[in-house]
Amino acid sequence: MHKPSNSADRQGIGQDQFLTILSREEALARFEAALFPRAIAAEERQLADALGLALAESVVAPIDVPSFDRANVDGFAVRSADIAAASEGQPVRLTLNGETIACGVTPELTVLPGTATPISTGGPLPRGADAIVMVENTHPSEGDAIEVGRSASPGQFVSHAGSDIAMGEIVLRVGMVIGSREIGMLAACGIASIPVARKPHVAVLSTGDELVQPGEALPSAGIYDTNGAIVTAAVSENGGEAEFLGSFPDDEARLEAAMRQALATHDMLILSGGTSKGAGDVSHRIVARLGQPGIIAHGIALKPGKPLCLAVCDGKPIVILPGFPTSAMFTFHDMIVPVLRRMAGLPPRTDAQVTARVPLRIASEIGRTEFVMVSLVKGQEGLVAYPTGKGSGAITSFAQADGFIRIEALADHMPAGSETQVTLFTPQVRVPDLSIIGSHCTGLDRVVAPLVRDGFSVRVLAVGSLGGLAAARRGECDLAPIHLLDEKTGRYNEPFLEAGLELVPGWRRMQGIVFRPGDLRFEGLDAHDAVRAALADPDCLMVNRNQGAGTRILIDTLLGSARPDGYWNQPRSHNAVAAAVAQKRADWGVTIAPVAEASGLGFIPLAEEHYDFALVTARKDRPAVKTFLAALQSEESRISLEQAGFRRA
């Protein structure tokens, strides 16, 4: 959200961005062409300080490892030809030479035919010997000799010089990331320090008048700066050294000063916000002045991420990510990470892919390649990819997703049931032990907590009661939490069950009228009088609920044929109703008691809502399901639910 700087801007006049919308591929190609090839800045690091960095040059082995022929067992160095005919029945007698070769001891005597030299594991093979016999296959014999009861092939129990690493061989290739195993190879070669790519120094700035840093109090209309923290961490995850410079209001002079200073001391600048059509969006105008060639792409046929701005100023990349957190993170992941890793000398990231089916039709905008964040659950015939569905403005769309699917620019939707590739955010699929898909309730978190503590992975997808029932019908979840009121019978949930599903009672949530404490139109009245008082006052504004919500049926019953002001404001959640009343965008509405209490609102009880579970019968014997059902019945859950304002059924 950006302040218009004058009235002409307020009309959107003078917007000069998005003149040419490039395809994602074209934008990335132009950005990379303007940045690469470039020499990777390298520095010499001691092994211990090189962990996680990329090798700037390939390393050639300066020595053979081992550097001598080495015994692999405790025993005797022999000439294999001497004992070719040896057996337990007809042992061969060998005289012992007058030295014992321990680790680190250089042999002095030659093993002549008919002799053997005692040697320890790790000792250098003496001249003349070509094999080792284990001490277990020998017997001491009179007069400093042994009897060998078994033959040996040449080279038996010997590691020859250079057999591990040969001198001149490339031990590690340029671009490899130094981990403990690589450090082991280098140490074996006696290498103490290596040339590594210097981490690119990346400055991260957030822009927007509304931004507040975590830890500070949130003013009304304020937003916590999400992008600053997540981009800073993601830069570090991808080989950069990030410095977060804070959030800046949309003040062109201040922002320009900060950007110029950051550019002088960093290799890359990443901003977020203020890159779309907002008239007060200033950062791209500043970028255009910071160096050559300047803006490479502003406006990309990509969703999320259309307003992404890519620039190169005198060799340094400057990126303005969209303000919406999921747009910011997705474009960072998709378009900036490849460039950052290349600057850090790292190889391209390899993202794992799996095949999954989409359970519902996913609409898409023609003309933009659309990436849809998805969560994976296990269905009857393999993986099912559920769109996380909260849109680009939500952090959870990206942060709680397992990966994403791609819908091509020319398609306006992906049909339900399509098989598609899911690019994962993690190296492997994390299929949950327990899948709960349906309506979400904070009470659910309390019942699930002990399962998670016991090591079960639990996935809860909030898709509403009807979405949950559909998922249960398709066998995509174990349980669907629902709170559906059947208008005809006045009964909750049970009338909605189909074959293959059974009802597990959950808990009750008291619904009631909420108002701001001290509002005398409601204070001290019962529900019907309160509604009468609200309807009598033309200035009294209500907040409704969406069609299909059980609470909506309750509200319609209360209102009868009345349609007071605010009736068409129909948010989809209990929390949104409470927020509207608490923030004076409405004066009354209907929500559940725990939510009213958390928002500090007055509450007039009306009726209990039943929050139960549709259990997929075919899945009821799974260990995680059994554990959940036991947890639901436990005393721990009863107490925890009560503390949160719910009454177990």
Ligand X SMILES: Nc1nc2c(c(=O)[nH]1)N[C@H]1C(S)=C(S)[C@@H](COP(=O)(O)OP(=O)(O)OC[C@H]3O[C@@H](n4cnc5c(N)ncnc54)[C@H](O)[C@@H]3O)O[C@H]1N2
Helix (H), strand (E), coil (C) string for 154-204: CCCCEECCCCCECCCCEEECCCCECCHHHHHHHHHCCCCEEEEECCCEEEE
Q: Is 505 exposed, middle or buried (0-12, 13-18, 19+ CB in 10 A)?
A: middle
Q: From the CB of 205, what's the least distance to ligand X, in Å?
A: 9
- Residue 147 near residue 141, CB atoms below 8 Å: yes
- Residue 406 near residue 378, CB atoms below 8 Å: no
Length of the chain: 649
Whole-angstrom Cα distance, residue 610 to residue 337? 47
Strand, helix or coil for residue 265: helix
The region of 304-312, 591-599, 606-614, 637-645 touching ligand MOO under the rule CB under 6 A is: 304-312
Residue 599, interface with ligand MOO (CB under 6 A)?
A: no
Phi, psi angles (nearest 5°) of residue 65: -125, 120
Q: Is the CB of 248 or the CB of 507 nearer to ligand X?
A: 248
Q: Which does 474 bind (CB under 5 to 8 A by kind): ligand MOO, ligand X, none?
A: none
Q: Is the CB of 115 or the CB of 327 nearer to ligand MOO?
A: 327
What is the DSSP secondary-structure string of 534-599?
HHH-TT--B----TT-HHHHHHHHHHTT---TTTT---SSHHHHHHHHHTTS-SBEEEEHHHHHHT
Give the CB-nearest residue to ligand X: 323
Residue 574, interface with ligand MOO (CB under 6 A)?
A: no
Q: Is the CB of 324 or the CB of 522 nearer to ligand MOO?
A: 324
Q: From the CB of 332, what's the least distance to ligand X, in Å?
A: 12
Token readout for 538 is 């033309």
Q: From the CB of 634, what's the least distance to ligand MOO, in Å?
A: 43
- Residue 618 near residue 499, CB atoms below 8 Å: no
Site string (325-344) toward ligand MOO, x via CB under 6 A: --x-----------------
Q: Is the CB of 137 or the CB of 247 nearer to ligand X?
A: 247
Q: Is the CB of 390 or the CB of 647 nearer to ligand MOO?
A: 390
Q: From the CB of 321, what's the least distance to ligand MOO, in Å?
A: 9
Token readout for 460 is 């809860």
Taking alpha carbons only, the member of 21, 22, 2 closest to residue 10 is 2
Q: From the CB of 240, what's the least distance to ligand MOO, in Å?
A: 23
Residue 210, interface with ligand X (CB under 6 A)?
A: yes
- Residue 328 near residue 320, CB atoms below 8 Å: no
Residue 226, interface with ligand X (CB under 6 A)?
A: yes
Size of the site for ligand MOO (CB under 6 A): 8
Site string (290-319) toward ligand X, x via CB under 6 A: --------------x-xx------------
Q: From the CB of 209, what's the least distance to ligand X, in Å?
A: 9
Whole-angstrom Cα distance, residue 566 to residue 620? 44
Residue 299, interface with ligand MOO (CB under 6 A)?
A: no
Whole-angstrom Cα distance, residue 287 to residue 269? 10
Residues β-bridged to residue 148: 92, 138
Taking alpha carbons only, the member of 381, 388, 427, 382 closest to residue 404 is 388
Residue 327, interface with ligand X (CB under 6 A)?
A: yes
Residues β-bridged to residue 174: none
Q: Which does 2 bind (CB under 5 to 8 A by kind): ligand MOO, ligand X, none?
A: ligand X
Residue 392, interface with ligand MOO (CB under 6 A)?
A: yes
| Residue from the set 1, 41, 112, 510 that interacts with ligand X by CB under 6 A | 1
| Residue from the set 275, 420, 573, 640 that interacts with ligand X by CB under 6 A | 275
The region of 45-53, 69-77, 256-264, 298-306 touching ligand MOO under the rule CB under 6 A is: 298-306
Residue 324, interface with ligand MOO (CB under 6 A)?
A: yes
Under DSSP, the state recorded for 219 is -
Largest CA distance in the chain: 120
Q: Is the CB of 51 or the CB of 395 nearer to ligand X?
A: 395
Residue 322, interface with ligand MOO (CB under 6 A)?
A: yes
Asked, as a colleague might, if the bond just before 415 is cis with ω within 30 of 0, I would say no
Whole-angstrom Cα distance, residue 509 to residue 1? 37
- Residue 100 near residue 108, CB atoms below 8 Å: no
Residue 364, interface with ligand X (CB under 6 A)?
A: no
| Residues of this chain, 227-266, that bind ligand X according to CB under 6 A | 227-228
Q: Which does 206 bind (CB under 5 to 8 A by kind): ligand MOO, ligand X, none?
A: ligand X
Whole-angstrom Cα distance, residue 53 to residue 175? 9
Q: Is the CB of 390 or the CB of 532 nearer to ligand MOO?
A: 390
| Residue from the set 139, 173, 277, 572 that interacts with ligand X by CB under 6 A | 277
| Residue from the set 266, 284, 298, 306 that interacts with ligand MOO by CB under 6 A | 306
Q: From the CB of 295, what's the least distance to ligand MOO, in Å?
A: 17
**CB burial readout 426-443, b (16+ within 10 A) else e:** eeeeeebbbbbbbbbbbb
Size of the site for ligand X (CB under 6 A): 29
Asked, as a colleague might, if the bond just before 126 is cis with ω within 30 of 0, I would say no
Q: Is the CB of 103 or the CB of 363 nearer to ligand MOO?
A: 363
Residue 305, interface with ligand MOO (CB under 6 A)?
A: yes
CB-facing half-sphere around the CA of 513: CA atoms within 13 A: 25
- Residue 339 near residue 31, CB atoms below 8 Å: yes
Q: Is the CB of 101 or the CB of 234 nearer to ligand X?
A: 234
Residue 107, interface with ligand X (CB under 6 A)?
A: no
The region of 197-205, 309-317, 322-330, 616-624 touching ligand MOO under the rule CB under 6 A is: 322-330
Q: From the CB of 598, what's the least distance to ligand X, in Å?
A: 23
Q: Which does 239 bind (CB under 5 to 8 A by kind): ligand X, ligand MOO, none?
A: none
Whole-angstrom Cα distance, residue 521 to residue 588? 10
Give the gyration radius of the chain's Cα atoms.
Answer: 35
Q: Which residue shows structure tokens 């049931």?
A: 417
Q: Which does 1 bind (CB under 5 to 8 A by kind): ligand X, ligand MOO, none?
A: ligand X
Q: Is the CB of 328 or the CB of 504 nearer to ligand X?
A: 328
Residue numbers at the binding site for ligand X (CB under 6 A):
1-2, 206, 208, 210-211, 223, 225-228, 272-278, 281, 304, 306-307, 322-325, 327, 392-393
Residue numbers at the binding site for ligand MOO (CB under 6 A):
303-306, 322, 324, 327, 392
